[in-house]
Amino acid sequence: MSETIIRNAEMRMKKAVESTANNFARVQTGRASPSLLDGVFVEYYGTKNPINQVATITAPEPRVIMIQPWDKTVSKEIEKAISRSDLGLNPNSDGNVIRIQVPELTTERRKELAKYVSKLAEDGRIAIRNIRRDANDAIKKLDKSDATSKGRKGKERGGEKRKGDDDPVQKITDKYIDQISQLLKSKEVELMEL
């Protein structure tokens, strides 16, 4: 039963790493990338949709993002959504295509973004630690219920078993926290490239 708890915890930790990686992809590095707009949603027929579900997004040049809406009536909404986002990008539309010039980052902005990325990484680590705590609590409950059903001697054994179960949870925790640290290092290098 504790193996199931450990597998579930590992699956959740993997998702936390993926979420952190997706958050990193949205951070502007001075290069045009369609993934910069992943967190921007557009009001379209009464529902909020990611831009990539209402338009084709490409990066034809290193500092230009081009958005071609499938329905021309949504162009103004896309422009508004990009302007309202915290990306600091200014969309220009010719009626058919929206172009965004990705500004070159200043040294000061790079440092701000490095701090922001560090915060995102710490949020990911906290999520992983919370998953570890949940897994350890679940294992503790499992041990307690085993001990209760086995009587007084079972309690002592349950306590011993608990110590042994801590290691696999901590190992996977260390593994996924290390993955976030590696993602952070590579993103910081990417941000500091001139």
> How far apart (Å, rounded) are the C-alpha atoms in residues 89 and 83?
7
Q: What is the pLDDT of residue 71?
A: 86
Residue 156's pLDDT band (boundaries 50, 70, 90)? Answer: very low
pLDDT tens per residue, range 8-30: 999 999 999 999 998 888 776 76
pLDDT tens per residue, range 45-85: 888 888 888 888 888 888 888 989 888 888 888 888 888 88
Residue 69: closest CA among 53, 80, 85, 91: 53
Q: What is the pLDDT of residue 157?
A: 40
pTM value is 0.66
Q: How many helical (H) and strand (E) elements, i.e. helices and strands, does the chain have?
A: 4, 6
Phi–psi pair at 87, nearest 5 degrees: -80, -20
Report, as an integer, the average pLDDT of 118-125. Answer: 94
Neighbour tally for 32: CB within 10 Å? 21
Give the number of residues written for the chain. Answer: 194
Say how many CA atoms lie within 13 Å of 112 toward its Cβ: 7
- At residue 100, does pLDDT exceed 70? yes
